[in-house]
Structure 1
Amino acid sequence: MVPDLNVDNEAWILVLYTGGTIGMKSNKGIYCPEQHYLPRAIRELPPLNDEKYIEKNYNYSSLKPFCLPPVRNTLKRIVYWVVEYEPLLDSSDMTFDDWIRIGVDIQKAYKSYDGFVVLHGTDTLAYTASALSFMLENLTKPVILTGSQIPVCEVRSDGRENLIGALIMAANYDIPEVTIFFNNKLYRGNRSVKLDNSGLEAFDSPNMLPIAHMEINIKVNYESIFRSQSSQPFSVCTTLCRNVGLLRIFPSISIELVKTFLQPPMEGVILQTYGAGNMPSRRTDIIEIIKEAHERGCIIVNCSQCLRGRVDVHYVTGKILYDVGVISGSDMTVESAITKLSYVLAKDEWDLQTKRKMMQRNIRGELTITNYDTLQDLEIIPQLAKFLHIHSTEEVQLLRNALFPPLLCYAAQNNDLDLLDNLRQSGAQFSQPDYNGRTALHIAAGAGRTQTVRYLLDHAANVNFKDQWGENALMHAVRSRNTECIQVLRDAGAVFGCDPIDIGWTKIRNKKKFAMTIPAQLGNLIQLNRLVQFFCFEHLVSCP
């Protein structure tokens, strides 16, 4: 699955093809899955593969990738490999084990690619996206799920556009989330639902605007991106609790049904109630059964049957559930709530009280915390906007985007943690790049500001974000010969992407350049110090 060293100015994407309509073949008017058909078809489709580029640059490779034709307004060529699952799965057959398999495959290839695309059937795509959003811990790279209503190889195909769009977003945008790309929109995975089984706009995010729109120009709402707040390296949770279920309330629901449903071994239940989380207040028999289940240790989460809106305990019919220990699911989708519950219950290191708290906490951007208070504007921003006669929200946002990156870099260079903290509370994103594509983490690592590096990593700075020269913060730390910064970045998951070997130099195939392999990737700081002493970095070639 891990390819050879790549050439310069490329973004590498791994595509996991699990099945679904997107890769099906028409057989007498009936769409059917066929093993190995999709990769062959993509190879022959010019919009999806620049064969001349592949022959020129990857003629030596035993596993030839695919490459999109040049994309307007992007700096790198998008090269991608397709790994096909066997057997191909209809999404209706997806299980917890399949989610774990996808997560493990991403983990195995995580250091070698810039992003990941998962091709999936649409019926349970929102469930898989929600599950992966929780399972993929400390994510720093984009993972995008997509599918289609019409196969890629049809003349009229949304699959072709969805695949191209997903590849472009995964290769070019710093959106370290599990998302869904469909019909020119990028949605947060755990906020999405399938709304339509026959229209091309099959998915929506009822309680959150899309993260990005792909129009003539691609518009990204960077402020809505949810970034990991941990400096720990990427990992995958491969354990999920199976004893969870959905119980939908309906008029005259029988007490026997509720009682049977809540019996052991049930450990967690998503209770789908009316409107804003309302329960029939006269059904004291059901309330008593729910109370008993709560006292037994079963975690019960209240979610609305409505797609839009959130659970509100201010109604009497909603407060009665709150009073017996039922947790508010806020505005979580059912898909998100059930997969989060399965993830949380599987955490053996958490006690029951912690698990209940985690179900109420926003851990992956899956719900809205109503009492969450954050300052969105630095005082200087509205003052400057007023002085410059800027009034629209878009113009103010452009001003913020122009000012924050140099201020962040200035603070990082000067080890000014107070300024960094003020900027963060004012809405600045630590992965916002300056005109050179460098972030505050690049500057801090290059200047040897270890304290600042730790602070930035603790507050969701992307450890593997690359500047316009394809270098991440680890490369800057190596150039500055700061072994402490190198160790901190390595501990946070920083990688070079090329495979290190024991000797200091290795020739890149088909290239007349040499790359110094960095012992920092092996954690060998003694060897690194020696190499830094005796080798210059003039011929260094970065590998994504």
Structure 2
Amino acid sequence: MSSLGQALSRSRLSRPDAIRALKSPLYELEVSVLVIYTGGTIGMKDSGGGLKPEPNALYKFLHTLPILHDEQYAEDTKLYERYPEFTLVLPLSKQKPRVVYTILEYSPLLDSSNMTPDDWAKIGKDIEKYYEQYNGFVVLHGTDTMAYTASALSFMCENLRKPVIVTGSQVPIYELRNDGRDNLLGALLLAGQYIIPEVCLYFYQKLYRGNRVTKVDAESFDAFTSPNLRPLASLEVDIKIDWDIVLRPETLDKFTVSTELNSNVGVLRLFPGITTDTVKAFLQPPMNGIVLETYGCGNAPERPDLLDEIKKASDRGVIIINCTQCLRGTVKATYETGHKLYDAGVIAGGDMTPEAALSKLSYVLAKDLSTEEKKKMMSQILRGEMTGDLVGPKRSLSDSRFIQVIAKSLSSSCKEELDAIGDALTPSLACAAAKVGDIEALEAIRKMGSDLSMADYDGRTPLHIAACEGHLKVVEYLLSKGATVYARDRFGDTPLCSAVSFRHKDVVKLLRKTGAHFSRDEMVDAGMKLRSLAESGDLEGLEILQLAGVEVARTTGCE
């Protein structure tokens, strides 16, 4: 029998039964979300001269809304003593756990029309500052420049492993008829209850990749669209996540925010009869990067005077990205007029939105790289901002002979039933492979189109199992394929908890390097466990908790 077969023959995969130190009775029920309130229509009131943000009003109002705050639960569980000021809690939904959220209100609050790259940097720094304290982040923002902010944050947040969701509303939340309550509620549920490690934009029951959206309607609640990529999730009768297109960081590097942005970028939209002087003036220093909005699939007037100015700018280091003026479609060299632009040094922008292209330029141009390296980076897919071979061809699990044999014994034959069988069996197969350290089997499962973060009947992922067993190479492999360090099984454990429980030092170090950390409640419980370990002289236990991020000296009084 193969090693994988031996693992499958066992009745139950590993569970840390003997060492169960890091457990809070409330933790399985609660997750925390930080709401960064920057301003925007959602919190505006009529000042007599038009709508404007009103400081300190949003929290007080949300406190009165039963759909967005469960006061009885807050009182019964002493919520206000356990969390920072300006904290609220959602009522319990059928999708557990319960979402607790804290509002960080900016001063002054901004109309999004006044947003600048400095404001993007501030938001990014706050996400980085509070990254280990919250399970997810919601950014409340005005709709006018929301697509720009979502795009910019997507590039600034490097190695992101938690959800960051930008949302707002078309009508203030205080109005009788408004979209703010549903948008805020949906964003909170998604940020708290699902590990979607991307910067997203949520609006009108749809979750979009942040760098794929554009605002298309100034008067409808359905104000945004993602022209060239379907939504990541939809919130209708049920919450449906399209996991096949959710991106995961395939790296062992820790989360960071790159706040250095180049402001010498701009958008030049071509139009019939545009003069050479206009183009020349626009391309002059200090301009470092241009989004050139062209016709159709990337065409421009075939005029030597225009092309000459574009080539001169490109030759002196100005990076020019070709994006279509059309809402949908891709820039490609189908016509001779498009070829002429590339001969002049222009880079094809694929199906990027102008907002994404501009934000990407600002991000890339700030890097300490050569011009050629920056151009290469602009043509690469960094955060799923344009369509390409992001995933590559996959076989369907329904093509697997193993699945087909099982299906035959169950008298199943249609594709839907085969896929259902595959979805049911694959997590256990992957966990069994992780149990015995079979990376080859895990790679085969991944190539069949499976997400290696999928959980088994106990909510345990292959990363949980590998962490329990101390299989360092398997842990490293899973992390490099996008496995999340924040998944919790039905007992409330993360892979880090599992590694700590079984005292696998190298695994703990690797998980910490990748961004794993204890939650607020786990830190409290770890402090209690530390005292017990110190009293019993368990130096190995103290070392493990210290490696996991617990400050031993401060908690125990040891020096």
**How far apart are the structure 2 equivalents of 1:132 and 1:22?**
20
Aligned to 1:494: 516
395 and 335 in structure 1: CA distance in 2 versus 1, 3 angstrom threshold: farther
59 and 99 in structure 1: CA distance in 2 versus 1, 3 angstrom threshold: closer
Aligned to 1:206: 227
Letter in 2 for 1:469: F
Task: Report whether the alignment pairs 1:528 with 2:543.
Answer: yes
**How far apart are the structure 2 equivalents of 1:185 and 1:382?**
37
**How far apart are the structure 2 equivalents of 1:477 and 1:204?**
42
Q: Note if contact 2:500-2:544 (Cα within 8 Å) is conserved in structure 1.
A: no
Q: Give the structure-1-normalised TM-score.
A: 0.89
Q: Note if contact 1:301-1:329 (Cα within 8 Å) is conserved in structure 2.
A: yes
1:152 to 173, 178, 182: 173
Q: Note if contact 1:505-1:517 (Cα within 8 Å) is conserved in structure 2.
A: no
Q: Note if contact 2:437-2:471 (Cα within 8 Å) is conserved in structure 1.
A: yes
396 and 118 in structure 1: CA distance in 2 versus 1, 3 angstrom threshold: farther
Q: Note if contact 1:118-1:145 (Cα within 8 Å) is conserved in structure 2.
A: yes
Aligned to 1:259: 280
1:301 to 297, 305, 321: 321
Give runs of aligned pairs for residues 391-540 of structure 1, distance below 5 A: 391=414, 397-498=419-520, 506=527, 527-529=542-544
Q: Note if contact 1:26-1:32 (Cα within 8 Å) is conserved in structure 2.
A: yes
What SS is found at the alignment partner of 1:118?
Answer: strand
Aligned to 1:332: 352
- Supply the RMSD in Å over aligned alpha carbons: 2.6
Aligned to 1:34: 54
1:288 to 296, 300, 308: 308
Aligned to 1:359: 378
What SS is found at the alignment partner of 1:302?
Answer: strand
What SS is found at the alignment partner of 2:527?
Answer: strand
Task: Report whether the alignment pairs 1:95 with 2:110.
Answer: no
1:168 to 189, 209, 224: 189
Out of 97-106 and 23-32, give the one that drifted further.
Answer: 23-32
Residues 336-389 of structure 1, C-alpha deviations (whole Å, 9 max, x = no match): 0100111111111x3222211211111111101269732242474488468564
Letter in 1 for 2:373: T
Q: Note if contact 1:441-1:453 (Cα within 8 Å) is conserved in structure 2.
A: yes
Letter in 2 for 1:53: Y
Aligned to 2:292: 271
What SS is found at the alignment partner of 1:86?
Answer: strand
**How far apart are the structure 2 equivalents of 1:29 and 1:158?**
23
Residue 469 (structure 1) shift: 2.1
2:142 to 121, 132, 137: 121
Letter in 2 for 1:135: M
Letter in 1 for 2:424: A
**How far apart are the structure 2 equivalents of 1:372 and 1:356?**
23
296 and 398 in structure 1: CA distance in 2 versus 1, 3 angstrom threshold: farther
Q: Note if contact 2:265-2:288 (Cα within 8 Å) is conserved in structure 1.
A: yes
Aligned to 1:68: 90
518 and 401 in structure 1: CA distance in 2 versus 1, 3 angstrom threshold: farther
Bigger helix fraction: 2
1:374 to 393, 399, 404: 393
Letter in 1 for 2:162: K
Unpaired segments of 5 or more residues in structure 2?
1-23, 548-559
Residues 275-298 of structure 1, C-alpha deviations (whole Å, 9 max, x = no match): 0011112x1111111112222121
Q: Give the structure-2-normalised TM-score.
A: 0.86
* Percent identity of equivalent pairs: 46
Out of 62-71 and 444-453, give the one that drifted further.
Answer: 62-71
Letter in 1 for 2:59: P
Q: Note if contact 2:467-2:507 (Cα within 8 Å) is conserved in structure 1.
A: yes
Letter in 2 for 1:495: H
**How far apart are the structure 2 equivalents of 1:378 and 1:14?**
38
Residue 499 (structure 1) shift: 8.3
Residues 212-260 of structure 1, C-alpha deviations (whole Å, 9 max, x = no match): 1101111111001011121111100010011111111111111011111
What SS is found at the alignment partner of 1:272?
Answer: strand
Residue 407 (structure 1) shift: 2.0
**How far apart are the structure 2 equivalents of 1:287 and 1:151?**
47
Q: Note if contact 1:381-1:396 (Cα within 8 Å) is conserved in structure 2.
A: no
529 and 99 in structure 1: CA distance in 2 versus 1, 3 angstrom threshold: closer
Q: Note if contact 2:159-2:255 (Cα within 8 Å) is conserved in structure 1.
A: yes
Residues 306-342 of structure 1, C-alpha deviations (whole Å, 9 max, x = no match): 0101011122121111222211110000110100111
1:315 to 321, 329, 335: 335
**How far apart are the structure 2 equivalents of 1:525 and 1:151?**
55
**How far apart are the structure 2 equivalents of 1:465 and 1:504?**
19
Q: Note if contact 1:135-1:343 (Cα within 8 Å) is conserved in structure 2.
A: yes
